[in-house]
Amino acid sequence: MLNPGDHIFSIRAGILYYHHGIYVGDDMVIHLMAAGMKKSSSSLCPKCGYNRDRDSRIVKTCLDCFLDGNSLHIFEYGMPCK
């Protein structure tokens, strides 16, 4: 179960890189979408309205858009960190 403030990530491009975000509650995540990482689809997400064709920036999207079909992982710190 996710809690607001959880540091989450998903493994992308096999294991080429990890995409990190902060879960903020209500199925929403704050994360950075970097240039060149966007898909060619111009449709808006029906859950959060995210448009993948926008420029790189910090975005707030639904968890599904953040994961982009990849698995969810929660970063485990050695001590509580919120």
Q: What is the pLDDT of residues 46-67, one digit of tens each?
A: 999 888 777 678 999 999 999 9
The type of residue at 61 is T
Could you tell me the residue ranges of all domains in the chain?
A: 7-74
Q: Is the pLDDT of residue 78 over 80?
A: no
Taking the C-alpha atoms of residue 47 and residue 35, their distance in angstroms, rounded to an integer, is 23
pLDDT score of 35: 58
Distance from C-alpha of 8 to C-alpha of 55, rounded to nearest angstrom: 23
| CB neighbour class for 27 (10 Å; exposed up to 12, middle 13-18, buried from 19) | middle
- pTM exceeds 0.85: no
Whether the predicted pLDDT of 6 surpasses 70: yes
21 has a pLDDT exceeding 60 = yes
Q: How many CB atoms lie within 10 A of CB 8?
A: 19
